[in-house]
Amino acid sequence: MSHYIEIKTLKNLYPYQARKIIKTGTVKGVVTTGTISADAKRLFDEAGIIWIEKIPEKMFRESTQ
């Protein structure tokens, strides 16, 4: 099974969204330009999913391919 990093450009990431991500069983990390709620962070931590929040959008570039 392949594993992925999920990139979200949401203002806020909440537990219901975290549960959907966890349920896929393929996500190993979550990166977001917004914030992750404390409960969502706890869910990710319990699932062994690393997370990073508040990444500036300018850090992402469109693919040239």
CA dist., res. 65 & res. 56, Å (int)? 23
What mean pLDDT, rounded, does the chain reach? Answer: 91
Backbone angles phi, psi at 24, to 5 degrees: -60, -35
Q: Name the pTM for this structure.
A: 0.86
Please give the Cα distance from 11 to 63 (Å, whole number).
23
pLDDT digit string (tens) for 1-25?
A: 788 898 888 899 999 999 999 999 9
